[in-house]
Amino acid sequence: MKIIEKILEMQSIILNLKKKSKKIGFVPTMGALHEGHLSLIREARKENDIVVVSIFVNPIQFGPNEDLNKYPRTFESDKKNLEREKVDFLFFPTPMEMYPEGFETYVNLKKLPYHLCGLSRPGHFEGVATVVAKLFNIVMPDNAYFGQKDYQQAKIIERMVLDLNFKINIKIMPIVREKDGLAMSSRNSYLTTEERKKALCLYQALQKAKEMIEKGEIKIDVIKKEMEKTIKEIAPDANIDYIAIVHPDTLSELSVVEKRVVVALAVFIGSTRLIDNFIIERS
């Protein structure tokens, strides 16, 4: 695997590969790789000639009181994992390379960021859309892979790709979970043993919603109350950021369950903010 730190070098390698009609698969990450990331990389490996992974802890998607400085940085083990998965190129730029002096162009969406996580993380999705647009212009992939765990992020990227005419297929891959159901996340490493047990409340609350919908419950306020009860039973001191049942494309909150909905939540376990979601189809 070749490690590339410079934008111009990455672009010139890609342009050469494109001349040879190679299909490029791309997995953008912030490192601290886990099985969730590896599942995206494996899919990219299956569907493309060349696989590029980026590791870049993007400063502009973190709010002033968020975890930019303590975000896990595990470069050596990430590198081993990427080599094991036969990744061809690791793009590993510095913040200065991505945002040099004078940088002032940002990508903003009008509606999708103003739901779910966007409400409590102002500016987050502007940071995500901006860095992903830049990475797409640098890596010029045919296919790019994102996890369903960051459902809102994936929808925002899909919209941005349509609106800005990137010729890239966006593939949203299923959430990878620990044996007990906890969604894999780089932030799980912040949890103490006690918090790790409590973190299961997100998955259990989603299971509760699924059961209720399968039994025919359609009133969303009723489902949300039961989800909250489940969370408080497992983690009485958890701080619920939001529980929402939304339209899968617009992300607007619903009052009754429609044919296909996304049940999503964000919960603070101690100081760690965890997110999870289920896509549920009503039979």
Q: Which residues lie near ligand PAF (CB under 6 A)?
A: 28-30, 58, 61, 128, 131-132, 150, 153
Minimum CB distance to ligand PAF smaller for 16 or for 120: 120
Minimum CB distance to ligand PAF smaller for 81 or for 230: 81
CB of 250 to ligand PAF, least distance (A): 21
Minimum CB distance to ligand PAF smaller for 168 or for 223: 168
Q: Which of 120, 134, 137 is nearest to 59 (CA)?
A: 134
CB of 56 to ligand PAF, least distance (A): 6
Give the distance from CA 121 to its chain's centroid.
Answer: 14
CB of 145 to ligand PAF, least distance (A): 10
CB of 182 to ligand PAF, least distance (A): 18
* Distance between CA atoms of residues 116 and 257, nearest Å: 17
Contact 126, 107 (CB under 8 A): yes
Q: Which of 34, 37, 115, 124 is catalytic?
A: 37
Residue type at 208?
K
* Distance between CA atoms of residues 83 and 85, nearest Å: 5
Minimum CB distance to ligand PAF smaller for 29 or for 48: 29
Active site residue 34: no
- The strand pair at 272-281 and 260-269 is best described as antiparallel
The upper half-sphere exposure of residue 39, i.e. CA atoms within 13 Å in the direction of its Cβ, equals 16
* Distance between CA atoms of residues 33 and 232, nearest Å: 30
Contact 208, 226 (CB under 8 A): yes
Active-site residues, by number, are: 37
